[in-house]
Structure 1
Amino acid sequence: MSVTTLFTGRSPADGDPVTDIYRYAARKGVIEAVEVAAEDLGLSLREAHEAVANLVESRLLRVDDSEGRRFVPVDPELASASLVSSVEREIYQRRELIDQIRERMGAFRSEYGDAGRSSAASAVEYLVGAMEVRGFLKMAGDACRDEVLAMQAAGGDVEDLSQMYLTLLARGVTVRIICQHRSRADVSTRMLLKRLTDAGAAVFTVSHVPRSAVVFDRALVVMFGVEDDGEASVARVHSHGIAKFLLDLFNHLWETATPLEGVEVGYANVADDLQQAIASLMAKGYTDEVVARKLGMSVRSCRRHIAMLMRDLDATSRFQAGVQAARRYLGAAG
């Protein structure tokens, strides 16, 4: 048992050799010999030695002779103060190391930036693999100070980013998320989004989001993708022009989106918007499967909406329903 285990595991209890040894030392005022303590407590010699070693490491026992056989108990408050000071010293040393690493890497940033301006390809940096992606997102989240704007496309998993959003919200960072309407129909996703809105995030939904992306502090752009082998990937974009384009796209979608409120599951609040999107795609001749994929819903759900649309319009074909509905919504918009 290590010091970390002692202080982060279960609470000490009767029958725990460490607790029993410390209680024995406190009662007698000293452990003259570990062998004697083991015999008195009914412990094996190995258990007794391991418990004593742990208590010495935890500052709760102190060696009191040159041979290392005699031990005296230490006041837990003094032991605690000693341990905390050593942990604080280690934290300080690690922070110094972090600062040194950042300072060292910062010396190369201008070189990298100068090279990047002469090459369009270097404007985009790709990271592949769950570990690399997760590490980069943590770094981006830690550096974020003011605002996060997120677009969640079909197939994207908001659960992967939810903890980062919650951490940012707890720090006072503004978080705005646009998801597809399909998020309203999935119970687990709806509850997860409800947790984010309860924490202060603003979540809106639209019919279609073209690509999953996150913009940190209106400057750092992260675009999500999946490699051919199924590995998660992100593209870190260093282009001011692309950042501005995504901000404009986000704002355009936000103006037409519908706020997600409550925990009710289903499309009731966005039925008109969803039917308009379906009609527009049907009018272009897309199959049910393509319409469903573009809107991020199951083919079964998509066909149910199409059947309702055709019934409402008294249409005899999918194409006719699409054209009629598109004209209706276009006229309403005008």
Structure 2
Amino acid sequence: MSNLLEFLGVSEREDRLYRALLRGESCRPDLPPQGTEKDTTPAEPELTSLVTLGLATRTPGGAVRPVPPPRAVDALIDGRLRLLREDLEGEVAQRAVIESLFMERQTPVPPHSRNGGENDRSITQLHGIAAVREAIDELTFFARAEDLTTEPNGILTKESIAVSHPINMRLLRRGVRMRMIMGAAALEHETTLSYMRKLASHGAEVRISHLPIERVIIIDRTAALTPIDPARTSRGALLVREPGLVATLVTLYERMWEAAEELPGEDTDMPSDTERKILAVLRKADKDESAARQLGMSVRTYRKHLAIIMRRLDAANRVEAALIAHEKSWLS
């Protein structure tokens, strides 16, 4: 059979090995696949290659299992698109395409496409939603490491999701770390909650804040957007590139992030992994300092999570929280 996956970057050998795994044949490198030719015996590097391509996963015991075909092909497509995008972005940068187009508009070139300069250390007023969205497009195009955002209102309209979704997926495909803090109203808004879970399934980190939060977007910790008027965000935003001010906004963001809680999963009656670990330690540790140390987190963070657990369980104290958690089968 010809290699149907060749156009997706899969070698003939990898194609045959993946098919052997789908047939349930041996997935251990020290055992040849049953009923296949000797040269199809998988070696460790080849199995690792399948895992890297997204065609297989490795179990805790070291065995390699095939990924279902729809997911496998989707992973291959994403991989090829990522490589193609990197090639095209490299060509765009080499040809200075963005700079050339901005010159036609007589608009300052975005800071990420230049090599620094005094103009980078400025605050620019952007008037109106259209100008803000254009700035977000420009900043995220050059994003390479991190995207930090908040949504104090907690509710996203279908229109705003339609605008932001392509940008968010583009960032996630490029491997940009995306963190989002949503207002508590998101938990009661089906459209928003569903979209947040979708982004989380693609690698975004989402938290819910029950405290007031400020509206801010920070890209690569070098540029930030804040509302001109927090009470009327439609007026526009301030584009901040001054390093000192951006650093201050990053510090503010980290504080809001620490005070927020994890996005609940589909089954909201079950604890998160962090909550399960805290409950397990709660039964053994006699002091918060000891428990936090065992979990590798600060005492403040530990107490924040513990308070959330007690609120979810409607427990008056920690002992009652442990008892209720046991009754709800949260603890094994």
The two structures have a TM-score, normalised by structure 2, of: 0.44
Structure with higher Rg: it is 1
The two structures have a TM-score, normalised by structure 1, of: 0.43
